[in-house]
Amino acid sequence: MNPLSNSKTIRRAALPATALTVVLLAGTAAAQQQRQQQDQRQQQQLRERQADERAQRAIAVHTMSDNIIGTDVVDPRGESLGSIDDLVVDLRKGKAPYAVLAFGGTLGFNRDKVAVPMQAFSWDDSEERFVLNTTRDRLEAAPEFDSEDLDKISEESWIDRTLEVFGIDREEGRDARDRRDAGERRNAEQDRRRQDQQRRDQDRDRSAADEEDKHKPFAMGSGIDKIEILGSNGEEVGSINKLVIDRNSGNVAFATLRTGGVRGIGADTHLIPWEAMERTDDKKFRVSISSDRFENAPQLEDEDQLRDAAFIQSVYRYYQVRPDQRRDADQRRDQRRDREERRQQGG
Q: Using CA of residue 158, residue 164, residue 169, residue 174, what is the dihedral sign?
A: negative
Fold agreement (63-165, 176-339): yes
Q: How far apart are the first and last CA of the chain?
A: 90
Burial of 208 (0-12, 13-18, 19+ CB in 10 A): middle
The torsion of the CA quartet 41, 46, 51, 57, rounded to 10 degrees, works out to 160
pLDDT above 90 for 333: no
Q: Does domain 176-339 have CATH number 2.30.30.240?
A: yes
Tens of pLDDT, residue by residue over 59-102, are 556 788 888 999 999 999 999 999 999 999 888 888 888 999 99
Domain locations in the chain as residue ranges: 63-165, 176-339
DSSP3 helix / strand / coil % (the chain, rounded to 5): 50, 25, 25
pLDDT score for 209? 47
Arithmetic mean of pLDDT, 292-297? 90
DSSP 106-166: BTTBS-EEEEEEGGGEEEETTTTEEEE---HHHHHHSPB--GGGGGGGG-HHHHHHHHHHT
pTM score over 0.85 = no
What is the rounded CA–CA span in Å between residue 189 and residue 198?
10
pLDDT score for 231? 94
pLDDT score for 182? 53
What is the rounded CA–CA span in Å between residue 271 and residue 255?
6
pLDDT above 60 for 15: no
Percent over 90 (pLDDT), the chain: 24
pLDDT above 70 for 56: no
Arithmetic mean of pLDDT, 295-319? 89
Tens of pLDDT, residue by residue over 221-249, are 877 877 899 999 999 998 898 999 888 77
User: CATH homologous superfamily for 63-165?
Assistant: PRC-barrel domain (2.30.30.240)
pLDDT score for 85? 93
Arithmetic mean of pLDDT, 292-320? 89
Arithmetic mean of pLDDT, 254-268? 78
SS3 label, residue 171: coil
Arithmetic mean of pLDDT, 306-324? 87
Arithmetic mean of pLDDT, 203-220? 56
Percent over 70 (pLDDT), the chain: 65
pLDDT score for 173? 45
Q: Using CA of residue 289, residue 290, residue 293, residue 298, what is the dihedral sign?
A: positive
Distances (CA, A) of 251 to 46, 74, 178, 240: 26, 22, 10, 16
Reference 61, options 146, 123, 147, 104; nearest CA is 123
| b/e code 250-268 from CB counts within 10 Å (16+ = b) | bbbbbbbbbbeeeeeeeeb
Radius of gyration of the chain (CA): 28
Tens of pLDDT, residue by residue over 139-172, are 988 888 888 778 888 888 888 888 888 888 765 4
